[in-house]
A and B are shown apart, each in its own frame.
Chain A
Amino acid sequence: MARGGEDVTGAARIPLNDYGVLGEPPALGQWSPTLTVSVVIPAFRAERTLPLTLASLARQTYPAHLMEVVVVDDGEQPMRMPYASPAGPLPERLRVIRPRGGAWGRASACAAGAEAAEGEVILYLDADLVLFPEHVEAQMRWHHLADYLVVLGHLRFVPGLDEVSASEVLAAVEAGAVPKLFAEEDATPQWTERRWDQTDDLRTAGFHAFSVMVGATASLRASLLRAAGGLDASLVLGEDTELGYRLAQAGAVFVPDRSSRCWHLGRSTVMRRERDVKRHNWPYLAERVPTFRWLRRHPHRTYLVPYVEVVVDVGDASFEEVRATVDAVLAGRLPDVRVTVVGPWGRLGGGRRDPLGDPSLDLRLLLACYQGEPRVRFREAVPDDSFPVPFRFHCPPGWVPSRGTIGSIVKHADRRRLGIVSLALDERKDGRVVFARLERTAAMSRARRCAGPGDDLDDLVHEMYGTVWDAGSAWGFLPADLAATTAPPVPGRTWTDDPGMAGVGGGSLRPRRQDRPGRPGRGRIGRLGRIGRSVPRPLRRTARLLRRGLRGLARQG
């Protein structure tokens, strides 16, 4: 099997989700495929439709020697094998497997199928689809262009087999007349199609492209699936959305292809019971998909996958400096964080020591300080990445972000679609610049995928997402000693003010003030002031006018 072009495809640098840089894919029937594909079909109570799906798979334009079909039989009982009583043509290479050891559900079936699959690309298909002949080919041409694409097929819902007879469908498949089986305008589009329309087929969808990932017909490189950790078998529904999220964090680009068409026989569960599906999925997704911010409105609680991982590298900093930084992060208005404190923890023995003269006393105090804090963890080395946490924020010890800082920077990065935001804090005498840095996991992952030898990851991130340098002071960063003099780092009421924001020059001349954390001194204004901070601009102006009016009244009185 020719694997030529593998290293070339890895180098395709796609900005955000704008796969237009790949150019037009080759026209159907006008190119020579090389990649093998495993079509994985999880089948549950699909005895009637599966033979039709398999028959349409046997009539694909994609070369049969490059394609295998793996049916994962997820029924309570092993189904009667379709090829035992052939109701129609079957793909040349067809296997039927059962999930192992009592595992059940679509996610487990998909995971088991991917494990058994031998192809370089995995194409997930529902067992109630009737594919157009170019369905597989249309998706596969994209995978020859880049190795981190998730290609989504285009499906339309048509009446089920209770309205159209199976033999009629089968006859159409055998006659190569699938497109004529139903009228396009009578078929119901999938909900995702509207999002395709709105975003120029996801080219402009940016970071949100993954949310239209639907498992009915989707293909991706097996290596990409492995990198993203495969399917989460603990999920029963919504596993495709969750996989989409993790694929996005692994750097994937989502490509819908309207010429990869198929008919979906009958209506989907989502269509029939949308409210119930949402009620079921949202608690699961809230825990696992941090970028669905509307599912995480709670002001204090934490989740399975945090939104931002804050890395504090202890280095030679003192206990007090590290604590000031960690405390400030924990006190931030973004509760959805995890703090990873990196230090030589293995050095600490349990043996007899001088309690006050211990040379590793600062490290020991740090461990002791956060024993009961579930959001703080201790690591020996900075992890390679923070996958699947969407953001990582490196914060040098001894520097204190204000309560709003981290949230504002993340918002800034989203609004400007940035991959890295670096904040210069200080310049040492030796010329070293002390800086904090926000990294977008998706951007770093994609940069790693695209990097050749000698490539600088930051250059790649800059090319595909954009990077920016800013001044830490403009985002509310203060050195710990200065912050301590203005607001002591102890829990209590003082945390409700921006620690030490007063006294920062306030010399920020940046045009986009809404990106900024709370302005200095707002906290003192009182109730209206606090409203002013969280509400949009016009209301803020109203609040200010109201305040002025009240003050005027008070003066007259």
Chain B
Amino acid sequence: MTRTATRSTWGTWIGFESCPTLLGRLVEGFTGPWTPLEDVPVPASPAAPADAARAGAQRVAALLGRTPDKIGVTGPDGAAGAGVGAIGCVVLAARSPGDLRRAVPLRGLLPTATRVRIAVADAPPWGAQPLPVAGPGTCWRHLTDLRITRRKRGWHLDAAFAEPVPAGDVVAHLAHGLFGGCEATTPVAGLEGGRTADWRPGDPNVTLSPPGGPVPDRRDAPGCDLLLRAGEPSRIGEPSPAPTPYGGLAAGANGAAVVPPRTQCPAIGPSGDGPLTDAPAAMSPSGGGLVVVGAAVDDVIPPVDEAVVNPIGFRQHPTRETATLAAHREGFAIAHAADRLVRLPACGRVTDVDIVRLRDVRGVEVPAIDGRAVEVARVVAALAAAGVPVLAAPDAVRDRALGPGLAAVLATATGEALASDLRREELSIRLRRAALREHGAAARWRGLASAAGLPVPPEPRVSILLCTRRPEMVPFAVEQMERQRGVTAELIVGLHGFTTREAAIPRTRLPLTVIEAPAATPFGEVLNRMAAVASGSYLAKVDDDDWYGPDHLADLLLARRYSGADLVGSAAEFVYLEPLDVTIRRCIGTERFAPLVAGGTMLVTRAAFEAAGGFRPLARTVDGQLLQAVEAVGGRIYRTHGLNYVLRRRSAYGHTWRQPVQSFLASYQEQWRGLVFNELMEDGARWRAEVRT
């Protein structure tokens, strides 16, 4: 298998635009030639994703200057030729795990080979280790050797197979191992390959089509629900782009035209040569012979891949002052004084390893850079999504690309706000909310789909489990949940030891279910009964006497999306010590994977909750036991920021768990007299009166 290895090694890279020299010394024993993965053309012939591998091999053969049959690509009958003459080795170099995710939708462009080497040059410290998760398909059945090696800050995977396997499958399974099963992004997209991969990071379920060409069909189904076409780079900022042959409208270099093909229409099918119109038209379910063209998306920047560019690793107490973004060669650089922290490519793409280098700075100052506002917008969106505070000079073009929500938050950022660590974190949280909700890949595709008139699946529902032993706390607790915004929720109230008649449950807009349980029932069992009647995809446990900010649940859902964890929760950073009338902020690391979260903030997927066996039927420590169980069955727990939650440590008052009040004081970072809320708690004054109840 190795005799032709040196001759038939084919190397491709992704993500090294800003540091090409790194590529040369990355893979031992291979110095080139390298092909940029984004430039590998999509084969013109219709091919399903798996078949595309073979087609890719043909392309590669052409690139290598050989005929396909000489390098062992077989005919259309689908059986790959036995080893002789096949591509010995495919080398994929990705600069970061984020770039690896961008390679996933392009997996069809990689040929089959008996040896697959994947090098990741740099990886963030919080990331998982690159262990492939064997998915369906044949490739791992032929595995003969697998070696995963740590190389400086990156990783190197070397897999050998007895038969040639699609290298793209190895890439997809490796990404799955790195990032877990992030939920699929809907709708199913068609990509033109190349740069459009930015739009669908980490999605193995895309259909590639040649530029301007037809979308290949899938088995008994059209290739995609929504087709994405790359625009011409020269068109930046031009007011009225000309329609492409397919009818989509091109946007700038970062932009793309979105075209929903007539999915159920055989007339256009793979060839895509049906009649065209260039205005949005109503879409009928049967839609015979009609092609509907989506609206042009002018100045829209590619989405931020929230699985890699996210607040994980945020530092509450940065050690360096504000850095500045500036144009650098054809791309950008972010520098702190003379120290260039990060170089970015011309398109303004920011990856996870760039964010890691910016974690120590207090913020990033972004000036208006003439003529490159859209690229700068892309940088700003990514920084904001990662929670890196941005101080941006006003720029109308950039702000239009960022959208009104993010631009509004951006306008509130001031140097003074950044000077205080708490104010800085508040700003960071507001920025990341706006950025992830407007520019996150999932949110972006929902927006594109609904703009194109495609049905959008409903937001997942959160079932709030609120169990209390104290009738007098019910109105307070219900109101805390009533003011949750940005989520679809239902409220399950568990009355533990009293009945509906003894409690005044206030009217609420949330769908309400009440469960009554006698006082003798263990707390955990009451919660399980409540979970049993819950209808949501997520269960959120809340406590009856703690304070919750209005974005508590929305932020937990956001954290779940970017972390991919099975259970997310906040840190109980802010604690009101009722016996002392003091609010403290404790020293708890947040925005990281950690085994413990505050019991009153747990949000768990229904699947993980069931996999963990639910709550244990105990009277106390049910939260801790659930966390332990989730971890034990292999679930991941993520702890997000604690600014939406204030734990109330009561004086002599029966509660399920008590920690001595002095132990709260053993380590705190800040302290306030009385009950004090941070700004994200909003309208905290209303709740102040409740304290002395």
Residues of B within 8 A of A508 (CB): 666-667
B587 touches A422 (CB 8 A): no
Distance in Å: Cβ of A463 to nearest Cβ of chain B: 9
A509 touches B580 (CB 8 A): no
Which residue of B651, B662, B669 is within 8 Å of A424 (Cβ)?
Answer: B662
Name the interface residues of A417-439: CB closer than 8 Å to any CB of B: 422, 424-427, 429-433
Residues of B within 8 A of A431 (CB): 579, 651-653
A469 touches B671 (CB 8 A): yes
CA distance A467 to B580 in the complex (A): 12
Nearest A residue (CB) for B658: A427
CA distance A48 to B667 in the complex (A): 67
A471 touches B666 (CB 8 A): yes
Q: Is A299 an interface residue (CB 8 A)?
A: no
Which residue of B662, B667, B673 is within 8 Å of A427 (Cβ)?
Answer: B662
17 contacts between A and B (CB under 8 A): A427-B579, A427-B660, A427-B661, A429-B652, A430-B652, A433-B579, A433-B580, A433-B662, A468-B671, A469-B580, A470-B665, A471-B662, A471-B666, A473-B666, A474-B665, A508-B667, A511-B669
Distance in Å: Cβ of A152 to nearest Cβ of chain B: 33
Name the interface residues of A444-491: CB closer than 8 Å to any CB of B: 459, 462, 467-474
Q: Is B533 an interface residue (CB 8 A)?
A: no
Q: Is B582 an interface residue (CB 8 A)?
A: yes
Distance in Å: Cβ of A395 to nearest Cβ of chain B: 15
B673 touches A467 (CB 8 A): yes
Known: A431-B651, A431-B652, A473-B662. A424 touches B580 (CB 8 A): yes
Known: A427-B579, A433-B579, A433-B580. A471 touches B652 (CB 8 A): no
CA distance A470 to B579 in the complex (A): 13
B662 touches A507 (CB 8 A): no
CA distance A472 to B584 in the complex (A): 16
Residues of B within 8 A of A472 (CB): 662
Distance in Å: Cβ of B669 to nearest Cβ of chain A: 8
**A-side interface residues, number (CB < 8 Å):** 26
Which residue of B582, B653, B660 is within 8 Å of A426 (Cβ)?
Answer: B660
Name the interface residues of B645-691: CB closer than 8 Å to any CB of A: 651-653, 660-667, 669, 671, 673
Q: Is A510 an interface residue (CB 8 A)?
A: yes
Residues of A within 8 A of B652 (CB): 429-432
Residues of A within 8 A of B651 (CB): 431, 433
CA distance A470 to B582 in the complex (A): 11
Q: Is B577 an interface residue (CB 8 A)?
A: yes
Which residue of A429, A469, A505 is within 8 Å of B665 (Cβ)?
Answer: A469
Most buried by B among A431, A462, A467, A511: A431
B662 touches A510 (CB 8 A): no
B579 touches A507 (CB 8 A): no
Residues of A within 8 A of B577 (CB): 469
Nearest A residue (CB) for B577: A469
Contact mask for chain B residues 208-244; partner A; CB cutoff 8 A; 1 contact, 0 none: 0000000000000000000000000000000000000
A433 touches B661 (CB 8 A): yes
Residues of A at the B interface (CB closer than 8 Å) are 422, 424-427, 429-433, 459, 462, 467-474, 505, 507-511
Known: A431-B579, A509-B587. A426 touches B662 (CB 8 A): yes
Which residue of A430, A462, A474 is within 8 Å of B673 (Cβ)?
Answer: A462
Distance in Å: Cβ of A221 to nearest Cβ of chain B: 30
Name the interface residues of B18-67: CB closer than 8 Å to any CB of A: none
Known: A430-B652, A431-B579, A469-B577. A509 touches B661 (CB 8 A): no
Residues of B within 8 A of A459 (CB): 673
Nearest B residue (CB) for A426: B662
**B-side interface residues, number (CB < 8 Å):** 20
Across chains A and B, the number of contacting residue pairs, with CB separation under 8 Å, is: 55
Which residue of B582, B587, B663, B669 is within 8 Å of A469 (Cβ)?
Answer: B582
A510 touches B667 (CB 8 A): yes
CA distance A432 to B663 in the complex (A): 15
Residues of B at the A interface (CB closer than 8 Å) are 577, 579-580, 582, 584, 587, 651-653, 660-667, 669, 671, 673
Most buried by A among B582, B671, B673: B673
Residues of B within 8 A of A426 (CB): 660, 662
A425 touches B662 (CB 8 A): yes
Nearest A residue (CB) for B667: A509
Nearest B residue (CB) for A470: B665
Nearest B residue (CB) for A508: B666
Distance in Å: Cβ of B562 to nearest Cβ of chain A: 28
B579 touches A474 (CB 8 A): no
Nearest A residue (CB) for B662: A424
CA distance A507 to B652 in the complex (A): 25
CA distance A507 to B666 in the complex (A): 7
CA distance A472 to B661 in the complex (A): 11
B661 touches A507 (CB 8 A): no
Distance in Å: Cβ of B169 to nearest Cβ of chain A: 47
Distance in Å: Cβ of B194 to nearest Cβ of chain A: 51
Nearest A residue (CB) for B579: A433
CA distance A429 to B666 in the complex (A): 20
Residues of A within 8 A of B653 (CB): 431
Residues of A within 8 A of B584 (CB): 469
Distance in Å: Cβ of A516 to nearest Cβ of chain B: 12
Distance in Å: Cβ of B385 to nearest Cβ of chain A: 30
Residues of A within 8 A of B582 (CB): 469
Residues of B within 8 A of A430 (CB): 652
Nearest A residue (CB) for B660: A427
Distance in Å: Cβ of A111 to nearest Cβ of chain B: 41
CA distance A422 to B580 in the complex (A): 10
CA distance A432 to B579 in the complex (A): 8
Distance in Å: Cβ of B365 to nearest Cβ of chain A: 28
CA distance A403 to B664 in the complex (A): 24
Contacts A462-B673, A507-B666 given; 14 further ones with Cβ under 8 A?
A: A427-B660, A429-B652, A430-B652, A433-B662, A467-B673, A468-B671, A469-B665, A469-B671, A471-B666, A472-B662, A473-B662, A505-B666, A508-B666, A509-B667
Residues of B within 8 A of A473 (CB): 662, 666
Distance in Å: Cβ of B673 to nearest Cβ of chain A: 5
Distance in Å: Cβ of B662 to nearest Cβ of chain A: 4
CA distance A425 to B662 in the complex (A): 6
Residues of B within 8 A of A425 (CB): 662
Residues of B within 8 A of A511 (CB): 669
Known: A427-B579, A431-B579. A474 touches B666 (CB 8 A): yes
A471 touches B579 (CB 8 A): no
Most buried by A among B582, B584, B652, B666: B666
Residues of A within 8 A of B579 (CB): 427, 431, 433
CA distance A459 to B664 in the complex (A): 22
CA distance A508 to B653 in the complex (A): 27
Nearest B residue (CB) for A511: B669
CA distance A507 to B587 in the complex (A): 12
Distance in Å: Cβ of B104 to nearest Cβ of chain A: 42
B580 touches A507 (CB 8 A): no
Distance in Å: Cβ of A387 to nearest Cβ of chain B: 25
Residues of B within 8 A of A471 (CB): 662-666
CA distance A471 to B651 in the complex (A): 16
CA distance A426 to B580 in the complex (A): 12
CA distance A507 to B673 in the complex (A): 24
Distance in Å: Cβ of B654 to nearest Cβ of chain A: 11
Most buried by A among B584, B652, B669: B652
The 7 closest A-B pairs by CB, nearest first: A431-B652, A509-B667, A424-B662, A471-B665, A431-B651, A471-B666, A471-B662
CA distance A510 to B577 in the complex (A): 18
Known: A427-B660, A431-B652. A507 touches B667 (CB 8 A): yes
Distance in Å: Cβ of A122 to nearest Cβ of chain B: 37
Distance in Å: Cβ of A530 to nearest Cβ of chain B: 27
Residues of B within 8 A of A429 (CB): 652
Known: A431-B653, A469-B577, A509-B587. A424 touches B661 (CB 8 A): yes
Distance in Å: Cβ of A421 to nearest Cβ of chain B: 11
Distance in Å: Cβ of B576 to nearest Cβ of chain A: 12
CA distance A468 to B665 in the complex (A): 10
CA distance A511 to B669 in the complex (A): 8
Residues of B within 8 A of A422 (CB): 580
